[in-house]
Structure formats: structure tokens, C-alpha cells
Amino acid sequence: MAQHDEHPDIQTFLKWVRDNSEYAILDTNTEERAAFMPLKTVKRHFAEHDGARLKELLAAVFFPNDPPVDPKTILRNYTQIFCTLMEIGKCRFIESFTRWSYGDSRLPFELDDAPPHFPTDTTDPNFYENFCKKQWKFCVPELESPMTNTYFHRDLILPIVRKEVITDSGSAMLYKIQLHDSYNRLSSQASRDAVWHHV
């Protein structure tokens, strides 16, 4: 059965995600940006009013049946999974993720390496691929010291929200960047003012 996207609570949540997304700089050479949803923001949204929003959302997804998943479980370990599923219209599969403990700590999933018990949707052969593409919006990493020899997945959205050219020597450009506060775990003020060197 398809997700009831027409339900007002689902529409309200999808609009809330659009309206509350932040935008990260993807490339120093362009102004291209990608939307991301800060995990703290969505968890705070779900936790407000004793979790009423999340309860209503689950009731809308599983109507007319009772939700098979406790809202506290989603808030604790499956918030990113839940949001990704909601955005691709597959939230009814959340129970498959909780059953096999495919929680937020397992993300991101690799496109060419599906977990063995990832659910199958017989009406959508691209379910896993669509999940993998959408997950990045909810999988932004915290950046913390030290970051020596740190490599990131090519699809990962880094929480860089602002850039400023410091120098342009012709062969290289030096940028001062600003990280989104929710993801900035760099230890000192000097390292909090990160510099991005682009050749």
C-alpha cells in the first residue's frame, strides 16, 4: 500500500522539511548548494508537545491501522531513516528497518552494497537506489578535530554554509568557510574559523 501523501499531516511535515532545510555549499567554484536537514532541528520538532507531531505523523502513515513502531524508538535511533523514507514515499517500511536494527548509526548505505535485509517493494524496483540518493539530505556529518587525512564520500553534504575568498593567487584560492553550528565540533576558535584551500 502506498504512503498517504495526500494526508494533511504528511503534507504539513513535507512542507516543514522544505521550509526548515539549510543549504550547504557544494563546490567552491560555483554557488551550487544542496538542501540538508539538521538532525537536531528535526529531533526537536518531533519531540515538541510530548512527541505529538511524530505520533500524528505515524498515525497518518499507517491509517487505518495502529503504527507498528513506537515514536520514541524513531526519535532515539531512526530519525534519519524515517525522514528519508517519508521523503521518498516509503515510510510504511519503517518497521522493516527497526526489525533488523538498520538505524541511523548504519547510515549512509552504499549504493552498490545493500544491507542483506533491506526491504523490497514489488511496485518500485528503484526503492533502494532512491533511498540512497535521498539519505544524504539527512546524513550531514559533525566535523571535529583532528581532521588530518579525513576523506568523505563523494555524495556527502558537508555543513559548509558560507564561504569567503581570502586570497586568489591565480593558481590557488584560499577560502574562509563557516560551518553550520549544529555540526561544528572543532575544538578551538582558531580551528572553528576553518580555511578551505582550493587548487
Domain ranges of the chain: 8-138, 143-198
pLDDT, tens only, 125-134: 999 999 999 9
Task: Give the global pTM.
Answer: 0.88
The 3-state secondary structure of the chain, one letter per residue: CCCCCCCHHHHHHHHHHHHHCEEEECCCCCCCEEEECCHHHHHHHHHHHHHHHHHHHHHHHHCCCCCCCCHHHHHHHHHHHHHHHHHCCCHHHHHHHHHCCCCHHHCCCECCECCCCCCCCCCCCCHHHHHHHHHHHHCCCCEECCCCCCCCCCCCCCCEEEEEEEEECCCCEEEEEEECHHHEECCCHHHHCCEEEEC
| Residues 148, 137: Cα–Cα separation, whole Å | 25
pLDDT, tens only, 46-83: 999 999 999 999 999 999 999 999 999 999 999 999 99
